[in-house]
Amino acid sequence: MMNTLRKMMVREGIDVFGTSDVTGYVPDQFASTPYAVTLGVRLSDAVMQDVVHGPTKIYFHHYRTANAFLDMCALKCVIYLGRHGYNAVAIPASQTTNSAATAGDFSHKTAANLSGLGFIGKSGLFVTEQYGPRVRFATVLTDHKLHGKGIQTSRCGDCTLCMRACPCGAIIGSHWTQNSARDDIVDAALCREHMKEKYAMIGRGAVCGICAAVCPYGKSRNSY
């Protein structure tokens, strides 16, 4: 059944598909759906190459369209699982729900990492094997039993490109481990404030993308 779902999602246009057991990681409200399907769509290299010095209007549009597409695919996933007798809930591709507006109901990165799709870079972005950080994600939580094989360590090595490129110094430069808190890796509030202040004319200051654009993983499809 999951193989059929995977094929269906690939036919829809999904580039990255993974499954994982997220028991212990989901908040109480989702305790009855402790397994995850991760859906990812890669961002266009033609768009990303122009973001190296800052976001562009076309990047914002692309980012928003990719998120809407992911939300539609996640809904199709929920419908498919429902028709096979399983409960499922789609976590939106891009919706912040905490008071600081820096996190959603559940971390796509956690599910993607536990699926074995990649690791979290010094940028705090999820770095996939095939497309580096040039990927947007959505997650479907379900009670259909699933498993995955997580990636335990950072593969950034000595690279500090994202840290040096960040215009506001929000990237701390630490190597991620599965025990890292986000604050150990990136100052999300500083990043958000910088975007609001400097890029208000592009997507009302909600995107930047420099750290994703400069990462060697994903650039020219370098894989690790």
DSSP-derived 3-state class of residue 154: coil
Q: Determine the residue with CB nearest ligand SF4.
A: 121
SS (H, E, C) 93-110: CCCCCCCCCCCCCCCHHH
Stretch that binds ligand SF4, among 39-47, 62-70, 102-110, 152-160 (CB under 6 A): 152-160
Nearer to ligand SF4, 109 or 194 (CB): 194
- x-marked contacts with ligand SF4 along 153-182 as a string, rule CB under 6 A: ---x--xxxx---xxx-xx-----------
Residue 71 CA to residue 88 CA, distance in Å, equals: 14
CB of 2 to ligand SF4, least distance (A): 30
DSSP character for 107? -
The residue from 122, 134, 136, 144 that contacts ligand SF4 (CB under 6 A) is: 122
Residue 128 CA to residue 132 CA, distance in Å, equals 5
User: Does residue number 206 form part of the binding site for ligand SF4 (CB under 6 A)?
Assistant: no
The answer to whether the beta carbons of residues 159 and 216 sit under 8 Å apart is yes
Of residues 114 and 161, the one with the C-beta less far from ligand SF4 = 161
d(CA 175, CA 130): 20
Q: Which residues pair with 50 in a beta bridge?
A: none
Q: Summarize as ranges the residues that interact with ligand SF4 (CB under 6 A).
A: 121-123, 127, 156, 159-162, 166-168, 170-171, 186, 191, 194, 208, 210-211, 214-217
